[in-house]
A and B are shown apart, each in its own frame.
Chain A
Amino acid sequence: EVQLVESGGGLVQPGRSLRLSCSSSGFNFGDHAMNWVRQAPGKGLEWVGFIRTKASGETTSYAASVRGRFTISRDDSKGIAYLQMDSLKTEDTAVYFCNRWTGGASFGAYWGQGTLATVSS
């Protein structure tokens, strides 16, 4: 059974950093690109970014709202994707979800349950 579990959320002050993890099981993690998507309280879904597979150069792409502040990486040996969030702003407060690409397309049939990151002084 495919499972994704996010962790690492919590309360952090503006300007500080936080690293989220997305742990996988039930499939060959190295064969799949991964997305990060967030949802601010009471708001809609916002794509954050993705990382392709090692075979595709582990290339990344980011939404304009986080580009230059957030970095996505992966450790295929552990089956984990990471979202490093630097220079955090109050507007980055959200539940962060990871999901797995389906084949070569970046829609997600498998999602984690999400982890809440709160940026507040």
Chain B
Amino acid sequence: DIQMTQSPSTLSASVGDRVTITCRASQSINNGVAWYQQKPGKAPKLLIYGASSLESGVPSRFSGSGSGTEFTLTISGLQPDDFARYYCQQYYSQNTFGQGTRLEI
């Protein structure tokens, strides 16, 4: 099974900051990565798919990059609504989620 190691587990930042979350796959997964945002009591919301494609309706301050085994989610110019938990997911072979990153003020 493919493992996804996500870091950091917690990230402290301020409104306006630029932050980066990283996921590392245990083997090459081409660009089969999606990123989600989740708020308490809600279902995850798709942000990025194909490692770098922005889902329709998602603000352009969210971006994704990477291929192979290293992937990043970058949020440029944090807004108050962005403080939430973020997960990566590989869908190259079955599915695996990263452990999650809590983005806090």
List chain A positions with a Cβ less than 8 A from chain B: 35, 37, 44-47, 50, 61, 63-64, 97, 99, 102, 105-109, 111-114
Contacts and interface: CB of A to CB of B under 8 A. Distances in A.
30 contacts: A37-B95, A44-B87, A44-B97, A44-B99, A45-B36, A45-B38, A45-B97, A45-B100, A46-B97, A47-B94, A47-B95, A47-B97, A50-B94, A50-B95, A61-B94, A64-B1, A97-B44, A99-B43, A102-B49, A106-B91, A106-B94, A107-B46, A107-B89, A107-B91, A108-B44, A108-B46, A109-B46, A113-B42, A113-B43, A114-B43
A107 B89 CA distance: 8
Given A37-B95, A108-B46, 9 more contacts: A44-B98, A45-B87, A50-B95, A99-B43, A105-B49, A106-B91, A107-B34, A107-B89, A107-B91
A102 B50 CA distance: 11
B32 interface: yes
Q: At the interface, is chain A mostly helix, strand, loop or mixed?
A: strand
B96 interface: yes
A102 B55 CA distance: 11
**Ranked 3 nearest A-B pairs via Cβ:** A47-B95, A111-B43, A107-B34
A8 to B, nearest CB: 17
Interface of B: 1, 32, 34, 36, 38, 42-44, 46, 49, 55, 87, 89, 91, 94-100
Contacts of B91: 105-107
A44 B43 contact: no
B38 to A, nearest CB: 8
Contacts of B99: 44
A45 B96 CA distance: 9
Query: Which among B32, B95, B99 has the greatest number of chain A C-beta atoms within 10 A?
Result: B95
Given A44-B87, A45-B87, A47-B95, A107 B44 contact: no
A46 B98 CA distance: 9
